[in-house]
Structure 1
Amino acid sequence: MAIGQYCCREIVAVSPTDSVAAAARLMRDYHVGDLVLVEPTDEGDVIPVGIITDRDIVLDLVANDESDLSRMAVGDFQRRELITVQEQEDVFDVIAKMRLGGVRRLPVVNERGVLVGIIAADDLLGVLADGLHDLARLATCQGWLEAEQQP
């Protein structure tokens, strides 16, 4: 199961030079919990260079009484190295990357490193729950098929 099948392709992105205050407004306006920091390529695409979450803003900035979020750039704020996944990577490999990196969201890139989507742990829970539901129904269906075949 390639992650590209399940990722969200509607991405809200910002430049690393955009302010934290502007980023927070975008999160509010688009009802998202993260923004991907991107830089343009010569071909007109964008590559991910970071990610900022609503949790990052609250725990690292607001809780530490950072006074002027309109002057702080999101790129200056990023604390960890970005982890990305290729759109053809297997769902279980992506889950392992999330677990090892301690992150709940990962940008999805194509073979050239261009941003094509984002995958969240919540998305993966839905995929796995659907698969388990189908598996559970298989056991029930097997019983019905056996009952129908009896003379």
Structure 2
Amino acid sequence: MPVAEICSRGVVIANPDNSLRTVAELMRVHHVGSVVVTRDDAGLCRPLGIITDRDIVLALVAKDVSPDAVSAGDVMSEPLETIDENDEVWTALERMRSRGVRRLPVLGARGELVGIVSADDLLELVAEELSSLARIIGREQRQEVSRRSN
């Protein structure tokens, strides 16, 4: 299954010049734990980096820095790990595991941001598949009991 089928399309974005206060407010308003830092490139939204709620805590709270004194570009994680929208979900899982990240911005054919896939998205997919597998086992057992009782 391609990543495009499970990624979230409503990505919250910020400009590299936005303050971390602005980024934190975006996270609060949109109920997300990360914001993708982007730039406009001839009408295409190109991802540059990502900021997580943990990044904000480590950059500001742990160092007692004002959220207006630091920009998104100063704190964003880079180089940014991304994945192509046509790559398989198992590729995303392996990339997250090998790179130690929980989120991957998803890129379209022209390198533009089209979504984001998270470890939570993959966990939900795997849980659904395991549930389907468990239902197969249960159904098989019921059919066997039914055949033996006839």
1:19 maps to what in 2?
A: 19
Offset, 1:41: 2.1
What's the C-alpha RMSD, in Å, of the aligned pairs? 1.4
Structure 2 gap ranges (5+): none
User: TM-score normalized by structure 1?
Assistant: 0.91
Alignment deviations for residues 40-75 of structure 1 (CA, whole Å, 9 cap, x no partner): 121x22011110001100023210122x22131111
Pairwise CA distance, 1:25: 0.8
Aligned twin of 2:6: 6
User: How many residues were matched structurally?
Assistant: 149
Alpha-carbon distance in structure 2 between the residues aligned to 1:63 and 1:28 = 20
The one-letter amino acid paired with 1:63 is A
Between the aligned partners of 1:110 and 1:80, the Cα distance in structure 2 is 19
Q: What whole-Å deviation, never above 9, does each CA across 1:2-61 have from its counterpart, x for those lacking one? A: 11111111111011111111101111111111000111121x220111100011000232
Q: Is there any run of 5+ residues in structure 1 with no aligned partner, and where?
A: none
1:127 pairs, out of 121, 125, 129, with: 125
Q: 1:53 maps to what in 2?
A: 52
Aligned to 1:100: 98
1:37 aligns with 37
